[in-house]
């Protein structure tokens, strides 16, 4: 019996699904993208209790050297003088009295710097505050 | 001479679709920051509240964060901030009996910010534990500023 010649199949990479995969990735990145108002890198203190920062929160950043930066939650952070926090906070509260404020402070900053900020925030009648932290590896279980 | 018209099928060119898609991917990949921004929530006291009472040091749980990385609670001897977990054992029986007892965290101006966060973290953990176990609402946690502490006679 004569066996017919085997047909040679051209090798190719199927690219039909390429666009689908690409769009899937786009959707993923679009959903996960957060345009951060502050990109200052500093060492945050660690804690076990952490809750998500509310979108649009105002930021007050204090670096290890004691330099201050602020953002109203819409624009990028800009440097500010320590004595100007009050006017910044008053301005924020006049727009939205419930405006959450995030304190992003380096772990080595001395308390008196934070204390002065809290004092000014209190004078401006700020209510909702959040101390930004990194996750602590749990050593002791309380539950 | 007879001309034969070629019939062309209408179509949308999709060859560049993948290019556009990948361009968008690159954009989102570069701008994405996958860093969960989380922190400890804290409510600042409302100064205009008419019901605000002056709390005596003795009626509250008074935690003092010292400049030398130690803390004291009420009249207990100072302990290292690394052993802040023991604060939980001290506070748990007190607050499960009387959750309305105010907690005052006084921080020395020279103390590190991380020491305060460590103490506040333990108190907040206790708060969520009490909420789970006994359905106790939020605890009263106050972090007086230097000016307030001086007015109230704390330190």
Tens of pLDDT, residue by residue over A96-138, are 999 999 999 999 999 999 999 999 999 999 989 999 998 877 6
For chain A, the domains span 8-143
Classified by CATH at the fold level, domain A8-143 comes out as: Nucleotidyltransferase; domain 5 (3.30.420)
The angle subtended at Cα A131 by Cα A127 and Cα A135, nearest 5°, is 145
Q: Does B41 touch chain A (CB under 8 A)?
A: yes
Q: Are A49 and B40 in contact (CB under 8 A)?
A: yes
The β-bridge relationship of strands A46-47 and A128-135 is parallel
Neighbours of A63 (CB within 10 A): 17
- Over 90: is that where the pLDDT of A69 sits? yes
Q: Closest Cα of chain B to A134: distance in Å?
A: 7
Q: What does the block give as tokens for A14? A: 């199927």
The residues, any chain, with a CB within 8 Å of residue A10's CB and separated by 6 or more, are none
Which of B17, B36, B37 would you mutate first to test chain A, the one with the most A CBs within 10 A? B37
The residues, any chain, with a CB within 8 Å of residue A111's CB and separated by 6 or more, are B65, B107, B108, B109, B110, B111, B112, B113, B115, B116
* pLDDT value of position B25: 83
Q: Does B51 touch chain A (CB under 8 A)?
A: no
Nearest partner of A17 among B24, B26, B18, B28, judged by Cα: B18
For chain B, the domains span 57-152
The DSSP symbol for A110 reads B
A78-92, B55-69, B121-135: range with lowest mean pLDDT: B55-69
Backbone φ, ψ for residue A95 (5° rounding): -80, -45
A96-110, B25-39, B71-85, B126-140: range with lowest mean pLDDT: B25-39
What is the architecture of the domain spanning B57-152? Answer: 2-Layer Sandwich (3.30)
- pLDDT per residue as tens digits for the range A13-48: 777 787 788 888 888 888 877 777 777 888 999 999
Q: Closest Cα of chain A to B56: distance in Å?
A: 21
- Over 60: is that where the pLDDT of B153 sits? yes
Q: What is the pTM of this model?
A: 0.76
Cβ distance of A128 and B39 shorter than 8 Å: no
ipTM for this model: 0.76
Cβ distance of A107 and B108 shorter than 8 Å: no
The pLDDT of B66-93, averaged and rounded, is 88
- Over 70: is that where the pLDDT of A139 sits? no
Cβ burial of A32 (10 Å; 0-12, 13-18, 19+) is exposed
Can you point out the beta strands (E) in A10-139? 46-47, 51-52, 58-62, 68-71, 78-80, 101-105, 128-135
Q: How many residues does chain B have?
A: 155
Find the residue in B nearest to A128 (Cα).
B43
Q: Closest Cα of chain B to A45: distance in Å?
A: 5
Which of residues A29 and B1 earns the better pLDDT score?
A29
């Amino acid at each position: 019996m004569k066996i017919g010649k085997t047909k040679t199949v051209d090798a190719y990479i199927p690219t039909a699904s390429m666009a689908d995969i690409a769009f899937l990735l786009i959707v993923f990145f679009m959903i996960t993208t957060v345009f951060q108002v502050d990109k200052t890198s500093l060492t945050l203190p660690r804690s076990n209790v952490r809750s998500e920062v509310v979108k649009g929160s105002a930021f007050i950043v204090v670096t290890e050297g004691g330099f201050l930066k602020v953002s109203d939650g819409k624009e990028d952070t800009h440097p500010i003088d320590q004595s100007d926090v009050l006017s910044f906070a008053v301005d924020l509260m006049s727009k939205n009295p419930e405006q959450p404020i995030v304190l992003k402070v380096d772990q080595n900053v001395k308390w008196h710097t934070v204390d002065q900020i809290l004092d000014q925030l209190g004078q401006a009648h700020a209510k909702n505050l959040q101390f930004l932290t990194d996750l602590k590896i749990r050593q002791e279980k309380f539950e | 001479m007879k001309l034969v018209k070629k019939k062309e099928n209408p179509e949308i060119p999709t060859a560049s679709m993948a290019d556009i898609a990948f361009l968008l991917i690159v954009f989102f990949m570069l701008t994405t920051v996958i860093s969960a921004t989380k922190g400890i929530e804290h409510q600042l006291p409302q100064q205009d509240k008419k019901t605000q009472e002056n709390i005596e040091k003795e009626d509250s749980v008074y935690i003092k964060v010292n400049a030398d990385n130690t803390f004291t609670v009420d009249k207990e001897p100072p302990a290292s901030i690394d052993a802040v977990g023991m604060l939980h054992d001290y506070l748990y029986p007190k607050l499960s009996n009387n959750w309305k007892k105010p907690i005052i965290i006084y921080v020395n101006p020279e103390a590190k910010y991380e020491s305060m966060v460590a103490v506040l973290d333990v108190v907040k953990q206790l708060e969520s534990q009490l909420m789970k176990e006994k359905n106790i609402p939020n605890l009263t946690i106050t972090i007086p500023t230097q000016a307030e502490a001086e007015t109230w006679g704390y330190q």
